[in-house]
């Protein structure tokens, strides 16, 4: 059967489009992404995080073991395929398991150094696309590996909030929880399973199915019916072991010291199995149902799940770039601007075209953003294009001008024109642009 999603090569002449749940980032948008990523990089540097770039695809086992067989991500959402060597490969659905794999593989912790790493890049999950949820999306994330100090948990939160502040995005809510240790979580799981079995007949079918496989996930369902039925469920916070309880208290105190407001949400279990102790999410009121700007927490057992003989403590978060940009737009904070052409070069005639083509490149060498009209159209059309690009100056010359070794320099705002000897044009343009730099004029 041919549905819009699984059309195949047979429909010969169809115009090929991007796959559902993916999209192109076009000029006009990519500039905002660059500004955004620049801010992320600067803030990461300020906090002492260094960039890591792991492969886009990994052995499937990495995610199956790290994230957990019974999670939605591994069970339903991964892009998994067999390569030519019959190996099971998965496009990364998240960055934490790859980062910990790389950390172990390259023995980054060999000197007992605490590693603070960050990443930016695409992730892949086969979820039903909707506002704020796509199949290829982009995250930036930060991980601190090698310490279980509660300051590390709090530092990752402060780091993310510093990025939001840098963007001017000031409405958010921090949800905080502790899942305790693996052991205390097992005890809780048993208790919760008993409770859920008691109310199972009031739960929707697909939620009921989770009671045996992943009962904690039943609690963070967004469905009202589920929330109502499970209102009296036991709280994970009543099951914390002493060390986890103490740790959670310290996290809360450190946040309070920094004046960071938070909401305790005992239902915040997160969708990945590697978490222990602290989990958190930062939500935006400017998004619809997919309102988590970032999610994170502590994953002290993940290293062992990936085959490390030792326990490797770690904590971090990842944030959805599309969601942050969407929240910014709703909040009226604009990162979008057009790439600025400073000078448009307009030529008439073959000899002038050749000479000005070279000049244009020399201007770029002098740091001037220069546009050379690649179509051989009329001067009028070239000037119209110069105005459309919002260039500040135009350099205009025909074959006759160049016989006199001159070009015309036109200020496109005032309309003023002057003849400039061609060998002087670069310093004259540079000087003019400095004097009319809109940023300096503000
Ligand atoms: P996550 O909660 O699965 O956690 O994803 C983090 C963030 O990525 C979400 O809060 C959301 O902003 C964005 N995101 C997730 N799925 C989608 C999607 N389909 N479309 C658009 N945006 C999406 C993790 O990935 C963990 N690795 C976080 C972490 C790092 N925990 C510890 N360290």
Q: Is 115 helix (H, G, I), strand (E, B) or coil?
A: strand
**In this predicted structure, what is the pLDDT of residue 1?**
43
Residue 48 CA, ligand 1 centroid: distance in Å: 22
**In this predicted structure, what is the pLDDT of residue 338?**
54
**In this predicted structure, what is the pLDDT of residue 62?**
97
Whichever domain contains 85, its CATH number is 3.30.930.10
102 phi, psi to nearest 5 deg: -65, -40
Q: Is the pLDDT of residue 84 over 50?
A: yes
Hunting for tokens 């892949």 — which residue is that? 124
395 phi, psi to nearest 5 deg: -110, 120
Is residue 369 in a domain? Answer: yes
Average confidence (pLDDT) over 284-313: 95
Q: Is 329 helix (H, G, I), strand (E, B) or coil?
A: helix
Among 74-88, 295-309, 361-375, the least confident range: 361-375
Q: How far, in Å, CA of 263 to CA of 285, rounded?
A: 14
- Residues 285 and 347 grouped into a single domain: no
Report strand pairing: 406-411 vs 370-372.
unpaired
Atom of ligand 1 nearest to the CA of 127: 19
pTM for this model (two decimals): 0.88
- Residues 261 and 312 grouped into a single domain: yes
Among 129-138, 194-203, 204-213, the least confident range: 204-213
Is residue 207 in a domain? Answer: no
Q: How far, in Å, CA of 188 to CA of 193, rounded?
A: 8
Q: Is the pLDDT of residue 440 over 80?
A: no
Average confidence (pLDDT) over 139-161: 96
Cβ–ligand 1 distance for 72 under 6 Å, the answer no
- Residues 303 and 157 grouped into a single domain: yes
Which residues contact residue 414 at a Cβ distance below 8 angstroms, ignoring those fewer than 6 apart? none
Q: Is the pLDDT of residue 324 over 90?
A: yes
173 phi, psi to nearest 5 deg: -130, 130
Hunting for tokens 């960055």 — which residue is that? 95
- Residues 296 and 350 grouped into a single domain: no
- Residues 326 and 349 grouped into a single domain: no
**In this predicted structure, what is the pLDDT of residue 172?**
97
Residue nearest to atom 13 of ligand 1 (CA): 320
Which residues contact residue 262 at a Cβ distance below 8 angstroms, ignoring those fewer than 6 apart? 174, 175, 176, 252, 255, 280
- Residues 427 and 282 grouped into a single domain: no
**In this predicted structure, what is the pLDDT of residue 10?**
65
- Which of 299, 331, 363 is the C-terminal boundary of a domain? 331
Residue 10 CA, ligand 1 centroid: distance in Å: 36
Is residue 313 in a domain? Answer: yes
Is residue 157 in a domain? Answer: yes
- Residues 310 and 385 grouped into a single domain: no
- Residues 320 and 354 grouped into a single domain: no
Residue 382 domain boundaries: 343-436
Residue nearest to atom 16 of ligand 1 (CA): 133
- Residues 253 and 372 grouped into a single domain: no
- Which of 269, 301, 331 is the C-terminal boundary of a domain? 331
Residue nearest to atom 2 of ligand 1 (CA): 295
Whichever domain contains 367, its CATH number is 3.40.50.800
Number of domains in the chain: 2
- Residues 97 and 130 grouped into a single domain: yes
Is residue 50 in a domain? Answer: yes
- Residues 376 and 313 grouped into a single domain: no
Written as one string, the DSSP assignment of 139-156 is EEEEEEES---HHHHHHH
């Amino acid at each position: 059967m041919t549905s819009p999603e699984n059309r195949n090569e047979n429909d010969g002449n169809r115009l090929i489009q991007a796959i559902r749940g993916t999209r192109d980032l076009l000029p006009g948008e990519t500039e905002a992404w660059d500004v955004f990523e620049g801010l992320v990089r600067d803030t990461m540097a300020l906090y002492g995080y260094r960039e890591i770039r792991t492969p886009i695809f990994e052995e499937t086992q990495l995610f199956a073991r790290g994230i957990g067989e019974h999670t939605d991500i591994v069970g339903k959402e991964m892009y998994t395929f067999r390569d030519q060597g019959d190996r099971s490969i998965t496009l990364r659905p998240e960055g934490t398991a790859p980062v910990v794999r790389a950390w172990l593989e390259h023995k980054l912790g060999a000197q007992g150094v605490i590693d603070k790493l960050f990443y930016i890049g695409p992730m892949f999950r086969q979820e039903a696309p909707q506002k704020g949820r796509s199949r290829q999306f982009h995250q930036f994330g930060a991980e601190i590996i090698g310490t279980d100090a509660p300051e590390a948990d709090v530092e990752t939160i402060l780091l993310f909030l510093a990025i939001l502040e840098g963007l001017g995005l000031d409405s958010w809510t921090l949800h905080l929880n502790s899942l305790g240790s693996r052991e205390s979580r097992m005890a809780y799981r048993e208790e919760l399973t008993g409770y859920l079995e008691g109310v199972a007949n009031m739960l929707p079918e697909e939620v009921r199915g989770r009671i045996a496989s992943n009962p904690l996930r039943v609690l963070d369902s967004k469905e009202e019916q589920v929330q109502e039925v499970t209102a009296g469920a036991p709280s994970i916070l009543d099951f914390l072991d002493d060390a986890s309880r103490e740790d959670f208290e310290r996290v809360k105190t450190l946040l309070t010291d920094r004046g960071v407001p938070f909401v305790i949400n005992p239902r915040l279990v997160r969708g990945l199995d590697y978490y222990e102790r602290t989990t958190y999410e930062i939500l935006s009121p400017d998004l619809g149902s997919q309102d988590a700007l970032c999610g994170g927490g502590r994953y002290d057992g993940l290293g062992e799940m990936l085959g490390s003989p030792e326990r490797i403590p770690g904590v971090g978060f990842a944030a959805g770039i599309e969601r942050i940009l969407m929240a910014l737009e709703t909040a009226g904070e604009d990162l979008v601007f057009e790439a600025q052409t400073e000078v448009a070069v307009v030529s008439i005639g073959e000899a002038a075209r050749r000479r000005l083509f070279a000049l244009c490149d020399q201007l770029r060498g002098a740091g001037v953003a220069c546009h050379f009209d690649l179509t051989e159209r009329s001067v009028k059309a070239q000037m119209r294009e110069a105005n459309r690009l919002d260039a500040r100056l135009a350099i205009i010359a025909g074959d006759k001008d160049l016989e006199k070794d001159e070009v015309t320099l036109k200020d496109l705002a005032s309309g003023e024109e002057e003849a400039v000897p061609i060998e002087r044009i670069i310093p004259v343009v540079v000087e003019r642009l400095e004097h009319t730099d809109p940023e300096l004029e503000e």
